[in-house]
Structure formats: structure tokens, C-alpha cells
């Protein structure tokens, strides 16, 4: 029987050190050079040694192998889980605006996990709060130099952050960020704004406090709170006029900090621009930070616009009568591009903004659409030859949407050919598009 804290191997790269060592898929890695491995971070760190002794489990028997790793050669292993004990650190905070707390009942269990694990922050860019770190965690961050880390700050005023997060430990954020800075750790931060709670003067303080820690604190992303129909009753989303005012404040500070630091430092997420009907900034406004910020809703719309020419090539092969599906927030921008595409190609394009009945109409982004709502929105419409869906919808296991369905369900319901369009690449210059049915 496999031990609880071993790394279950799912792949061994050909012509790699692991293959020469004789490891196979299904083996369980236990230790490297007599050090127990707790997760893939340990494998990355310990696996950089030129001489490796690996202890592993196969068929309930522990075995050992040794191998010499060539200079620059990866170990060549992939694992079933990043954390070998299978348990991520969970969040100890009780933020009223936490999206996980607002999740619709009855979805897949993984959607209800409140991850707050510094290891996953290092590995995948997950945002953490730093409120659950103990002495051993700080020691490991220092010894293994786990950089960069991604931190949800929300507010630097201790009283405001404690009130937002309902955790007395939350007030030490500046002390913790300074400690990370002293260790040489690069930090990406975010502030999720709640109307009347951490905006206005509190936002100004947050920006100035974090900018004082530049360049250790590399940036701060400003994001509006997202609420489903299961949100706390005293919360609300920003009105469009309020969004415009927040955007003006952030852009003014961005201009000021660019003159002082040489970079914009504070970056509003796309939703502020789209809600305020404001022009999107040029790609240079993001200071080459999009690979780190894109998953936080920053620069996605700009990348779409800058990647338009290669997208046209893809779209031109999908029929002359198309239906494009998106969320309500991005629909005006997509309609402009649909008109341009129609003029360029002679195709007929119908843009369908989908109202989010599944989570509530205040959820307007494409990435939180469900197949259920897409099918509902497409009823009784002239759909043409093909339907195009945003790839952001299908990030769940086996390419499922949040309601556990695939694009094939849309194809069956509409009797049309359905394409899922996904962007790839880390910059507009290297952006490409993939299409799957």
C-alpha cells in the first residue's frame, strides 16, 4: 500500500535522469539523497544535485537507485499531485467577499477548497494572505528561496485588513512583506476592492505603502469585488460611475509612480476599463508583467486586441456564418471586433452575451459562464453554421465548465458545430490561438 506522503509518479520523460534510474509511472518517490520529499518543490531543489540517490516505492516494496544527472538536465518526473500529502493549507480568514464562500451549492468538491498555501503560490501563482505561516514555513521560504510569491493584501491599514478578513492575525501584513523583502523574495500583490470598505483613502494608503517596498513588491493589481447571488447581504458591486472614479484614482497613481519608480507599479484589472467604457491601455503600460498578472484579470482584453490578426486567420476557417458567445462584460468589445471581422471576411457574425443565471447576474465575466446558461441563451436564435465558445469556460477537469459539462453538450443541444477558442503565449508578439471541437 502506498504511503501517505510519497510523490506518485505519473510520467517519466524519455532519455532523462529518471529514466536512466529505472523509475516508472506508478512508482512513489519517497526521498532524494536521504531527504524525504514533501512536494514537487523538494524534487526541484534536491533534483538539481549532480549525484542523486532516489528511494522509491514499487509494488509495496521500497527500492533505491542512483544516477548521475548531466549538467542542465531535468530530472524528468511528473507527479499526480504537487503536494505529496494531498492536503493544501486552507484559509483561516472569514472574508465576506471570498468567492469560495459564495459558490453555488452542489458543484465539484474542489471548488469549495479555500486554498491559502504558500507552496502553491510559488508553484502556480495562487494568491495567499500570509496569515497561516508558522516558523517552519518562514524557514523553508528562506532556505529554498521560494520566489516569487503572490499575496492578497487588500489593505495595508491593520484595522481595515482585520475587519475585511475577520482575522486578528491579518493586521501584520506590512511586517510580513518587509520580512519577505529582507529575504530577497519577489512579491506580486493584489487588492480586491469592496465599495466603501478599502477604497478611497484606504486604497491610496495601500498603494503608497506597497510602493515604498518596491522593487521587492513588484506590483499591485487592483480588482473589483465579485459577488454571486449567495453573497453576504451587506455587500454590493461597484456601480459604473464608481468604477470610473476608482479607475481615475489608480491611473493617476500609476502615472505618478511611473515617474518615481520607472514602472507603473499599480495596475487596474480589465473590468475597471470595461465597466467605465474607458480606452484600454497600450501593451507597454503593463511593463512586461502580463505573464504574472494575466490570471488576475489584467491585460486580457489588450492581449485579445493585439492578437487580433492571428485570430482572424483562425476564425476565417470556421465558416461564413458564426455565433460568438461571451460574458456580458466583454460583449461590447467583442461586437466591435465582430463587425470588423464581418467587413474583412464577408462573414455574418452574431455576438451573444450570456446572462449568468447560474451564479447571478452580477457575475459578468466569460470565465465564469456555464454550459447550462450558454444553452439557455442560444435558444430560439438563428445560430448559423458554427458556435464559438471562450476557452476560459472550460478549465475544469477533463475540459469541463463550472457546471461539469463540456462543449459537446452545447453541440448536442444546438445541433451545430461548436468550437472552443483559446489563446496561448506569454505576450502579444508570441500569441497564438487554438481551436478544438
Nearest-10 Cα torsion for 343, 345, 348, 352: -80
Q: What is the CATH number of domain 307-436?
A: 3.40.50
CA atoms of 91 and 88, how far apart (whole Å): 10
Overall average pLDDT of the 45-69 stretch: 94
What pLDDT is stored for residue 195 in this prediction? 97
- What is the chain's mean pLDDT, rounded? 93
Task: Give burial (CB, 10 Å; 0-12/13-18/19+) of 319.
Answer: middle
- CATH fold of the domain at 7-79: Pdz3 Domain (2.30.42)
User: What does the domain layout of the chain look like in residue ranges?
Assistant: 7-79, 100-298, 307-436
Task: Judge whether 100-298 and 307-436 match in fold.
Answer: no
Instruction: Kindly tell me if the per-residue pLDDT of 257 is higher than 50.
Output: yes
- Which string of DSSP letters, residue by residue, matches 371-393? HHHHHHHHTTS---SEEEEEGGG
Q: pTM score, two decimals?
A: 0.92
Q: What is the average pLDDT across 33-37?
A: 95
Task: Provide CATH code, domain 100-298.
Answer: 3.80.30
Asked whether the predicted pLDDT for residue 87 surpasses 90, the reply is no
pLDDT at 280: 95
**Would you say residue 57 has pLDDT above 70?**
yes
Q: Please state, for a pLDDT cut of 90, what percent of the chain lies above it.
A: 80
pLDDT at 196: 95
Whether the pLDDT of residue 380 is over 70: the answer is: yes
Burial class from Cβ neighbours inside 10 Å (0-12, 13-18, 19+) for residue 105 reads exposed
427 pLDDT more than 60 = no
State the virtual CA torsion across 155, 159, 165, 166 in degrees, nearest 10.
180
Instruction: Check whether 429 has a pLDDT greater than 60.
Output: no
**With contact defined as beta carbons under 8 Å apart, do 348 and 342 qualify?**
yes
4 pLDDT band, cuts 50/70/90, is: low
Q: What confidence tier does 218 reach under pLDDT thresholds 50, 70, 90?
A: very high
Question: What would the mean pLDDT of 75-92 be, rounded to a whole number?
Answer: 92
Give the Cα separation of 161 and 173 in Å (integer). 9
Phi, psi angles (nearest 5°) of residue 326: -155, 175
At what angle are helices 407-414 and 371-378 packed, to 10 degrees? 20
Which pLDDT score is estimated for 14? 93
Give the N- to C-terminal CA distance of the chain in Å, as an integer. Answer: 40
How far, rounded to the nearest angstrom, does the alpha carbon of residue 299 sit from its chain's CA centroid? 13
| Nearest residue to 149 via CA among 105, 182, 118 | 118
Amino acid at each position: 500500500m502506498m504511503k501517505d506522503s510519497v510523490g506518485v509518479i505519473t510520467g517519466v520523460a524519455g532519455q532523462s535522469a529518471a529514466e536512466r534510474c529505472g523509475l516508472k509511472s506508478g512508482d512513489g518517490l519517497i526521498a532524494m539523497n536521504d531527504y524525504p520529499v514533501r512536494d514537487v518543490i523538494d524534487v526541484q531543489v534536491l533534483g538539481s544535485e549532480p549525484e542523486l540517490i532516489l528511494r522509491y516505492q514499487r509494488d509495496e516494496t521500497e527500492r533505491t537507485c542512483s544516477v548521475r544527472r548531466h549538467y542542465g538536465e531535468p530530472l524528468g518526473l511528473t507527479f499526480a499531485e504537487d503536494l505529496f500529502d494531498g492536503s493544501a493549507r486552507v484559509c483561516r480568514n472569514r472574508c465576506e467577499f471570498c468567492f469560495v464562500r459564495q459558490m453555488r451549492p452542489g458543484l465539484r468538491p474542489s471548488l469549495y477548497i479555500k486554498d491559502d498555501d504558500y507552496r502553491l503560490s510559488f508553484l502556480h501563482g495562487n494568491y495567499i494572505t500570509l496569515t497561516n505561516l508558522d516558523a517552519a514555513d518562514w524557514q523553508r521560504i528562506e532556505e529554498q528561496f521560494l520566489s516569487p510569491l503572490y499575496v492578497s493584501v487588500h489593505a495595508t491599514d491593520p484595522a481595515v485588513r482585520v475587519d475585511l478578513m475577520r482575522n486578528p492575525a491579518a493586521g501584520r501584513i506590512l511586517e510580513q512583506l518587509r520580512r519577505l523583502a529582507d529575504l530577497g523574495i519577489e512579491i506580486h500583490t493584489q487588492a480586491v476592492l469592496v465599495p466603501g470598505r478599502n477604497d478611497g483613502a484606504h486604497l491610496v494608503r495601500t498603494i503608497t505603502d506597497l510602493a515604498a517596498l518596491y522593487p521587492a513588491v513588484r506590483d499591485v493589481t487592483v480588482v473589483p469585488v465579485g459577488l454571486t447571488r449567495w453573497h453576504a447581504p451587506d455587500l454590493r458591486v461597484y456601480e459604473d460611475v464608481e468604477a470610473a472614479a476608482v479607475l481615475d484614482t489608480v491611473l493617476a497613481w500609476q502615472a505618478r509612480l511611473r515617474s518615481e519608480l520607472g514602472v507603473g507599479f499599480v495596475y487596474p484589472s480589465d473590468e475597471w476599463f470595461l465597466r467605465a467604457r474607458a480606452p484600454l491601455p497600450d501593451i507597454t503600460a503593463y511593463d512586461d508583467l502580463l505573464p504574472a498578472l494575466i490570471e488576475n484579470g489584467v491585460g486580457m482584453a489588450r492581449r485579445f486586441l493585439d492578437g487580433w490578426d492571428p485570430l482572424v486567420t483562425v476564425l476565417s476557417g470556421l465558416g461564413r456564418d458564426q455565433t460568438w458567445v461571451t460574458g456580458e462584460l466583454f460583449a461590447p468589445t467583442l461586437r466591435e471586433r465582430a463587425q470588423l471581422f464581418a467587413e474583412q471576411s464577408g462573414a455574418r457574425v452574431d455576438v451573444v452575451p450570456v446572462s449568468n443565471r447560474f451564479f447571478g447576474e452580477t457575475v459578468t465575466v466569460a470565465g465564469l459562464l456555464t454550459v447550462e446558461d450558454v444553452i439557455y441563451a442560444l435558444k430560439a436564435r438563428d445560430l448559423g453554421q458554427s458556435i464559438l465558445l471562450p476557452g476560459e469556460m472550460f478549465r475544469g477537469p477533463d475540459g469541463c465548465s463550472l457546471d461539469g459539462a463540456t462543449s459537446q453538450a452545447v453541440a448536442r443541444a444546438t445541433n451545430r458545430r461548436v468550437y472552443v477558442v483559446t489563446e496561448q503565449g506569454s505576450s502579444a508578439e508570441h500569441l497564438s490561438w487554438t481551436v478544438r471541437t
